[in-house]
Amino acid sequence: MTNTIIWTVAILTCLGLLLSLVLFWVASKFKVEEDPRIDEIEKTLPGANCGGCGFAGCRAFADAAVKAGNLDKNYCPVGGSEVMNKVAAILGCEVKESAPMVAVVRCNGSCANRPKINDYQGAESCKVKAALYGGDTGCLFGCLGCGDCVAACAFGALSMNPETGLPVVDESKCTACGKCVAACPKRIIELRAKGPRGMRVFVSCTNKDKGPVARKACSAACIGCGLCEKTCTHGAITVADNVAYIDFAKCKLCRECEAVCPTGAIHGVGFPKPLDKEAVKKRIADRKARAAEAAKAAVQPEVKKEESNG
């Protein structure tokens, strides 16, 4: 009995040692030489493997960055500039500064603004719902409310507000990876610059129907009237397909568009004070009056000249 145990232990120990030698030999013989910087960069990255950078995961990002030798085409939206500076230090190159972005839900079709015209009973998925029919409200472009974006978010930054039936972005958690943008079949969510101190202005509607149709479906819809486009002195707003769009690179956050929008489709967020619509409207009126006077003054001398000639 004791003999058997001793023999078993001895044989297994020898076998183990022998195989470990084989494994050691194989490991050294077939070793893949890899740039140690890849591991280093991977450790620096957040490790969420979200794919927000456009690569399959953090390791693929690190691999591509080391192969390229620079960071021109690589940016980790989750880590932001802090992480990117560390990565740049490892690679010994410059990093392009990029403005921090955030996901913005461009629909304000809450239950109050956008009445339901039927009840949906199919699978709880925006993708399925969008393929089946025009939706349970009169708006063909708005949020479907089944929460595909919430399910797609790996950071818990999105949640459905039961009162409005719309998704809400938690800015502190949003990493602008773009997963929700891809998940939304109506393409409502957009990545926009966070803006200075979180202040930004955007059009919270994507309805391409003509004004009356859009307004009938939702009281907060952009009707494409173009008032904002005319008011904007920075050329940041364009109206195409009956819906306005604010270019965040050009927007100077004057909030004049927000004040003149007749349906309240333009939203300003992150501002310290609520918008005083009347004051802003007065400011616009004053500016227009001054411009008209200036135009008059510019025209009058010519008229006089003509008279003197005559």
| Interface stretch with other proteins, choices 131-139, 194-202, 218-226, 258-266 (CB under 8 A) | 131-139
Size of the site for other proteins (CB under 8 A): 15
Kindly report the number of other CB atoms within 10 A of residue 38's CB atom: 19
Q: Which of 85, 98, 118, 233 forms a contact with other proteins (CB under 8 A)?
A: 118
Rounded CA Rg of the chain:
30
| Interface stretch with other proteins, choices 98-106, 128-136, 161-169, 291-299 (CB under 8 A) | 128-136
Residue 269 in contact with other proteins, rule: CB under 8 A: no
**In the stretch 140-179, what mask flags binding to other proteins with x, by CB under 8 A?**
x---------------------------------------
Nearer to other proteins, 122 or 262 (CB): 122
Minimum CB–partner distance for residue 78 and other proteins (Å): 22
DSSP annotation string for 47-76: -----TTSSSSHHHHHHHHHHHSS-SS---
Residue 132 in contact with other proteins, rule: CB under 8 A: yes
Residue 121 in contact with other proteins, rule: CB under 8 A: yes
Residue 16 in contact with other proteins, rule: CB under 8 A: no
Q: Which of 131, 168, 289, 294 forms a contact with other proteins (CB under 8 A)?
A: 131
Residue 115 in contact with other proteins, rule: CB under 8 A: no
Residue 49 in contact with other proteins, rule: CB under 8 A: no
Nearer to other proteins, 129 or 200 (CB): 129
Residue 182 in contact with other proteins, rule: CB under 8 A: no
- Give the footprint of other proteins on this chain (CB under 8 A): 117-118, 121-123, 125, 127-128, 131-136, 140
